[in-house]
Structure 1
Amino acid sequence: MLQLERAKANPILVPDESNWWESKAVFNCSVLNDGKTIHMLYRAIGEYEDYVSRIGYASSNDGLSFTRRKEVAITPEVDYEMYGIEDPRIMTIEEETYVTYVVLSNYVKNNPSISTALAKTDDFSHYKRLGIITIPGSEDKDVVLFPKFNGESEFQRYMMLHRPSNWVGPQYNTERPSIWIAEGDSVTNFEKHLPLVKPEQSWEALKIGVGVSPIKTKKGWLVIYHGVSTDHVYSAGAFLLDIKEPHKILGRTKRPLLTPEEDYEIKGDVNNVVFPTGACVLDSKLFVYYGGADKVCCVATVDLQDLLDYLLSPECSI
């Protein structure tokens, strides 16, 4: 059984009491390696009364030691963001950098409805809002877009993975919140949706959700995801999709790659949480970034080829 190896430096980002907007919690970080710098966006909490999230920025040369920017990267500005901006995911599509993030219809304590919005940036300082991209009423989060490369023709359209929590029941062909795949004619318009991956194992029996934008490899699209057990333990797994037919699953972990064991994963604002939201490849290793117990940012690694071989082995057969 393959496992991710936690960095000895964990947690790599902790709350900064000297900076009010990130003084209580920093977690669920996403990264982009542009070949020179590893850019990170992370969710930050500065107070617990209303629990309004903001997004911070940090950068690194080695994927382990990050330098934070003091100013907020993305703060609630437009109507649909006013109750918080959560769980950013960074991705590159046609050489443009995009960020998906969760937005709420009301304060967390008021049980708000959930949507996912999209923004675009070219410097991680300025962000152009492109609006909400999920269907009203679907309670949709854990949204990532596939890279779409110039000059390639894997897809005739744009594609997205997402987790609409309300799409459950016979009419949706799934009994628990699952990962769906969607097609559209732009990064903001997706009209064809199909269930792709459903909860199967005990460690993911309650629900599952995508962690990072699909990573293109020689063996297929690598996707890191999270699963939640019935006793609300969050763990990390992976699956591999066919390059030209991303609706086809080539392999999937039956056991988690990472599950809460360390204190910073077991005890926090939400206990027993390993929540992957970012990944990049450095020197043939896959760095998987995750939130620990909704409190801190962490990273774990695995040899990329070892993971791909594992996903294509009988142990991960579909």
Structure 2
Amino acid sequence: MKKLFLILFILSPILSGLLAQEKEWMLGPFERFTQQQPIIQKKTNSEFKDPVTGNVVKWESMATFNPAAIVKDNKIHVLYRAEEKLGEKEIGGHTSRIGMAISADGLHYKRKPAPIFFPDNDDQKKYEWPGGTEDPRIVETTEGVYVLTYTQWNRDIPRLAVATSTDLKNWKKHGPAFKYFKNGKYMDRETKSGAILTRLENGKLLAAKINGKYWMYFGVPHIYLASSTDLINWEPVEDYEGKIAPVLSPRPGYFDSWLVEAGPPPILTSDGILVLYNAGNSKNIGVEELGNRIYTGGQALFDSREPWKILDRAEKPFIKPEMEFEKSGQYKDGTTFIEGLVYFKGVWYLFYGTADSMVGVVRTRLN
């Protein structure tokens, strides 16, 4: 008995850092390992000459959050949303660009001095200015092309868009993801949060096909599905009436009672398609102790042959705001907004935005 108590005593710090995993098909459990600190936060002295205005701006002076992630050259590259502070405006009233931080060990990150993706005087300016480029997700193809999905925010309509690169430095913007579908049917509809399906091949996450097509989960407050043959032009899945069809919706009585939103790129596994998603709570019809507008993380399993068919779904969040830095900042209700997932040196790293203000990370060696 004394030996059992000793083992539990030794393991208690480890167990206390683990985040829940309730079903066998789920990824995790994840652990917090950064000494309760964010890995990226705002800097007031970072300067960048904005090509639209010609002014030198403090491009990450307001906040740094909502990160994508990819492994390149045996290092983790985190692409994070950085906001330039413009007076005392509310959320959505600043200008966003995408910065990059690189890590060789998963714990320490060195930032690039200037954003790597931003609004410019190009053919996308009308969609990206003055709000900026927001909330990236990224995948790599088998040919070594990086495909970036992001939100174009002109402070009128948020639009899901696509860009590509072969080096994470030089980018080609392809514009709104659905611009050619049915004569631009969805061009003036709010679209965002595009997470493209991946598969783990030889220790690397790569864009994956099902039945000859790529698939992307996207949207909020419901999650929808789209397909593509080239990863640039996408076709939303519609029902027989020609209406966009939700594949995951909020659930009264649960942590995701208010909204659901696509998270990092999903993974094709032996159990099915693993979709990690963001969940918003409405305590009067959801989980009272979570409070209103709290963003947590959920996991769902979809059929690997019919990616619109849900097989199972977590009943509890596997990550939620608990640390002080996850509950402070622009979004004071608390946020663990998951967007980036990589497999790096045998470990899964999950990157998330905290309270629309900082970047956090958790990890797991299991599953």
Could you tell me which residue of structure 1 aligns to residue 307 of structure 2? Answer: 246
Q: TM-score, normalised by structure 1?
A: 0.83
The C-alpha deviation readout for 1:25-62, integer Å capped at 9, x for no partner, is: 11111101236111110000121334010100111112
Could you tell me which residue of structure 1 aligns to residue 342 of structure 2? Answer: 280
Larger strand share, 1 or 2: 1
- 5 Å-filtered alignment, 1:59-78, equals 59-77=102-120, 78=125
Q: TM-score, normalised by structure 2?
A: 0.73
- Aligned match for 1:17, one of 16, 38, 44: 44
Equivalenced residues, count: 287
The C-alpha deviation readout for 1:268-292, integer Å capped at 9, x for no partner, is: 1111111001011234432110001
- Asked if 1:56 corresponds to 2:99, the answer is yes
Could you tell me which residue of structure 1 aligns to residue 129 of structure 2? Answer: 82
**2-structure distance, mates of 1:250, 1:208:** 17
Q: What is the percentage of aligned positions where both structures have the same residue?
A: 30
Q: CA deviation at 1:81?
A: 1.3
Shift in CA distance, 232/47, structure 1 to aligned 2, threshold 3 Å: same
| Conserved? CA contact 1:93–1:146, under 8 Å | no
User: Any idea what SS the aligned residue of 1:140 has?
Assistant: coil
User: Any idea what SS the aligned residue of 1:32 has?
Assistant: strand
Shift in CA distance, 72/240, structure 1 to aligned 2, threshold 3 Å: same
User: Any idea what SS the aligned residue of 2:247 has?
Assistant: strand
- 5 Å-filtered alignment, 1:2-151, equals 2=21, 4-9=30-35, 10-19=37-46, 20-34=58-72, 36-49=74-87, 50-77=93-120, 78-83=125-130, 84-95=132-143, 96-106=145-155, 112-134=156-178, 135-147=186-198
**Residue segments in structure 2 that go unaligned for 5+ positions in a row:** 1-19, 22-28, 47-57, 88-92, 179-185, 238-244, 283-291
- Asked if 1:261 corresponds to 2:322, the answer is yes
- Asked if 1:209 corresponds to 2:261, the answer is yes
* One-letter amino acid of the structure 2 residue matched with residue 145 of structure 1: I
**Farther off after superposition, 260-269 or 211-220:** 211-220
Point out the structure with max Rg over C-alpha.
Answer: 2
* One-letter amino acid of the structure 2 residue matched with residue 275 of structure 1: F
**2-structure distance, mates of 1:60, 1:48:** 30
Could you tell me which residue of structure 1 aligns to residue 216 of structure 2? Answer: 160
User: Any idea what SS the aligned residue of 1:264 has?
Assistant: helix
**2-structure distance, mates of 1:69, 1:142:** 24
The C-alpha deviation readout for 1:177-216, integer Å capped at 9, x for no partner, is: 2111122343233334132111125311111111111123
**Farther off after superposition, 258-267 or 183-192:** 183-192
**2-structure distance, mates of 1:285, 1:36:** 13
**Residue segments in structure 1 that go unaligned for 5+ positions in a row:** 107-111, 166-176, 306-318
Shift in CA distance, 37/43, structure 1 to aligned 2, threshold 3 Å: same
**Farther off after superposition, 91-100 or 153-162:** 153-162
* One-letter amino acid of the structure 2 residue matched with residue 46 of structure 1: E
Shift in CA distance, 132/280, structure 1 to aligned 2, threshold 3 Å: same
* One-letter amino acid of the structure 2 residue matched with residue 74 of structure 1: F
